[in-house]
């Protein structure tokens, strides 16, 4: 009992290492990996880690597989399939997003793609998304952005060529909030051309 805090501290450190350092294509760690590395009480360790990360505006996020895109019933061993990530608790300011390499165009295109897929009950035709992005960012850019979103895991393409929400969207996006903001929005009278031009000049990729 006397050594319990120290024991927990070690486990929390190990959990942080497992969640922060990317070991495969997808960041974070699966439930079974955490169970193997931290023991059966890994959920409690993650709660502790979550508590420690609060001060840094970070949080531990659990993502269940396919909860949004397919509405497949969760398997009995669903817990084993869950993945945990460390993500930002708050949100980024536009300037911070720019510093992370995100252009206004890219953010807008991602918002439009996700909204369209969600509105189509989780699946949409690739061409339709490209047309919607193309209206905002230009046709050629739409093709590149679509590939980028698929590659980075925001979107996934199935065997039938239909596009659905990817693992990264499930981990990073608060979709009800996005859809609510969209539904409540009012169009701005004119687009701020000047700021877009400035964005083009300062950012690339």
Partner 1 sequence: MRAITSVARVVGLQSADLRFQSSALYVDPSMVKEKLDSLSREQLAEFLLLSWHPIVELEQLTLASTKEAKEFWEKMLSFFERRKRLHLGPFAMPETADLGELARMRVLDEKAYTTKMRDLWKELKERAGEDQRVDYWDFIGGSDFAQTIVRAQLVSFLVSYGYANLLRTGNSLFLVPKAKPDPHLEGSPLSFPIPITKEALVRAK
Residues that bind partner 1 (CB under 8 A): 20-24, 27-28, 58-59, 61, 68, 70-73, 85-94, 97, 100, 104-105, 107-108, 110-112, 114-116, 118-122, 132, 135-137, 168, 171-183, 185, 187-188, 190-192, 195-196
In the complex, minimum distance from the CB of residue 6 to partner 1, in angstroms, rounded to a whole number: 25
Do 27 and 33 touch, CB atoms closer than 8 A? Answer: no
Do 113 and 133 touch, CB atoms closer than 8 A? Answer: yes
Residue closer to partner 1 (CB basis): 9 or 195: 195
- Going by C-beta distance under 8 Å and a sequence separation of 6 or more, which residues neighbour residue 119? 179
In the complex, minimum distance from the CB of residue 79 to partner 1, in angstroms, rounded to a whole number: 20
Residue closer to partner 1 (CB basis): 114 or 155: 114
Residue closer to partner 1 (CB basis): 4 or 76: 76
- Going by C-beta distance under 8 Å and a sequence separation of 6 or more, which residues neighbour residue 58? 86, 87, 88, 89
For residue 166, count CB atoms less than 10 angstroms from its CB and return exposed for 0-12, middle for 13-18, buried for 19 or more.
Answer: buried
In the complex, minimum distance from the CB of residue 63 to partner 1, in angstroms, rounded to a whole number: 10
In the complex, minimum distance from the CB of residue 29 to partner 1, in angstroms, rounded to a whole number: 11
Do 45 and 15 touch, CB atoms closer than 8 A? Answer: yes
Do 34 and 84 touch, CB atoms closer than 8 A? Answer: yes
Residue closer to partner 1 (CB basis): 41 or 88: 88
Residue closer to partner 1 (CB basis): 23 or 44: 23
Q: Look at residues 152, 154, 151 and name the one whose alpha carbon lies nearest to residue 164.
A: 154
């Amino acid at each position: 009992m006397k050594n319990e805090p120290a024991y927990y501290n070690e486990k929390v450190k190990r959990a942080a290492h497992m969640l922060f350092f990317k070991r495969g294509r997808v960041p974070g760690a699966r439930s079974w990996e955490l169970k193997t590395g931290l023991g059966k009480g890994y959920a409690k360790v993650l709660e502790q880690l979550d508590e420690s990360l609060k001060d840094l505006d970070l949080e531990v996020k659990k993502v269940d597989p396919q909860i949004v895109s397919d509405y497949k019933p969760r398997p009995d061993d669903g817990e084993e399939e869950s993945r945990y990530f460390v993500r930002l608790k708050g949100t980024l300011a536009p300037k911070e997003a720019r510093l992370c390499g995100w252009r206004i165009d890219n953010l807008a295109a991602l918002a439009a793609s996700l909204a369209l897929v969600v509105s189509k009950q989780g699946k949409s035709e690739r061409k339709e998304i490209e047309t919607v992005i193309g209206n905002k960012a230009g046709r050629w850019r739409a093709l590149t952005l679509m590939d980028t979103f698929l590659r980075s895991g925001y979107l996934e393409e199935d065997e039938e060529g239909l596009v659905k929400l990817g693992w990264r969207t499930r981990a990073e996006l608060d979709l009800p909030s996005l859809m609510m903001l969209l539904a409540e929005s009012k169009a701005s009278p004119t687009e701020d051309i000047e700021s877009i031009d400035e964005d083009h000049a300062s950012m690339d990729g």
